Homo-oligomer: A and B are copies of this chain.
Amino acid sequence: MAATKIAVVGIGKIARDQHLPAIARSGAFELAAAISRNERVEGVENFTDIQAFLRNRPDVAAVSLCAPPRPRLQMAVSALEAGRHVLLEKPPGATVGEVEALVALARKKGVVLFATWHSRFASCVEPARRWLSGKTIRHVEIVWKEDVRRWHPGQAWIWEAGGFGVFDPGINALSILTAIAPPVFVTDATLEVPENCQTPIAAQLTMRGVTGFEVTADFDWRQEGPQTWEIRVDTDAGLLVLADGGSRMSIDGEQRPGGLEAEYDGIYARFAGLLASGESDVDLAPLKLVSDAFMIGRTVDVDAFHD
């Protein structure tokens, strides 16, 4: 089967670190264009504007949107209106409502929409889901602490309204939680917002599973030194620990093997599968948890943040 021509929109850190290499390794996709206001990708046609790309390259069937969520909406609408299949980097949008509108538009145009959650493709997430299936969860503890200066250097949009703040990494943890455990909802949230920012630098959530268990989540962007991305699931059959963002797993202290460590290769393999079947894949559960946390969260002012 011929490779599907794909364009990447938004050539920033995540596109260069992950999407372009994964597309280059993929047999299913061929990079055909790049769209960015300021950046260029060697070896393909470059556009500074998605409208010009859509007009000039009707041969490119798929678009991968890596721009931040707020400017991304209009790009997604334009690409879907032009009949292109669309892959969305996480989070899939700035609001639950706009992504629901994109789902309706994709359906109307008969194209595929894929809202990706890269952490769900970490090597131990699927093994964890399988191990937990059928067991009774008693409690889940999420600790997700990293250094924002290391992972988001100079990204001003994350601190602006709609920019998610620490929920940008935190939603990765929530995307794993909602993949491996029964549905949960937020019962309490504290949002620590720097006095010069609109979004939290740290947040503590309490959630409840509909089957009765409690989940606590501790998100912090001020962690220097070792970084922590851990989910501990206490069950009637032992303690499962997902560490390193889902790439390591132990049960009662004993390491268990995962699959291949290939988050973005997994994403593009899944996108190829969706294109073959014509199905969309949009799970809004992680975004709904964040939205609800903002609605009921108690805001606490903390020290100003300077990049």
A interface list, Cβ under 8 A from B: 70, 73, 94-98, 100-101, 104-105, 160-162, 183-187, 189, 198, 210, 288-292, 294-299
Measured CB to CB, the nearest residue on chain B to A94 is B296
A104-B210, A210-B104 as given contacts; A94 in contact with B162, CB under 8 Å: no
**Given A97-B289, A104-B210, A291-B291, 15 other A-B residues pairs in contact with their CB atoms under 8 A:** A94-B295, A97-B184, A97-B185, A97-B186, A98-B187, A98-B292, A105-B210, A160-B298, A161-B297, A198-B299, A290-B295, A291-B294, A291-B295, A294-B295, A299-B299
Bound Cα distance from A162 to B294, whole angstroms: 9
A-B residue pairs, 3 tightest by C-beta? A97-B185, A162-B296, A161-B298
Closest chain B CB from A159 CB (angstroms): 11
A296 touches B161 (CB 8 A): yes
B210 touches A101 (CB 8 A): yes
Closest chain B CB from A193 CB (angstroms): 8
Measured CB to CB, the nearest residue on chain B to A299 is B198
A101-B210, A104-B210, A161-B298 as given contacts; A291 in contact with B198, CB under 8 Å: no
Centre residue among A104, A185, A198 by max chain B CB count within 10 A:
A185
Interfacial chain B residues near A160, Cβ < 8 Å = 298
Pairs across A and B, CB under 8 Å, 19 listed: A95-B185, A95-B186, A95-B292, A95-B295, A95-B296, A96-B291, A97-B184, A97-B288, A98-B185, A98-B187, A98-B292, A101-B185, A104-B183, A160-B298, A290-B295, A291-B291, A291-B294, A291-B295, A295-B295
Bound Cα distance from A289 to B291, whole angstroms: 10
Interfacial chain B residues near A294, Cβ < 8 Å = 291, 294-295
Bound Cα distance from A161 to B206, whole angstroms: 14
Bound Cα distance from A295 to B292, whole angstroms: 8
Closest chain B CB from A47 CB (angstroms): 25
Bound Cα distance from A297 to B294, whole angstroms: 9
Interfacial chain B residues near A95, Cβ < 8 Å = 185-186, 292, 295-296
Measured CB to CB, the nearest residue on chain B to A70 is B296
Closest chain B CB from A59 CB (angstroms): 28
Interfacial chain B residues near A73, Cβ < 8 Å = 187
Closest chain B CB from A72 CB (angstroms): 13
A101 touches B183 (CB 8 A): yes
Interfacial chain B residues near A98, Cβ < 8 Å = 185-187, 292
Measured CB to CB, the nearest residue on chain B to A104 is B210
Interfacial chain B residues near A100, Cβ < 8 Å = 183, 185
Bound Cα distance from A280 to B156, whole angstroms: 45
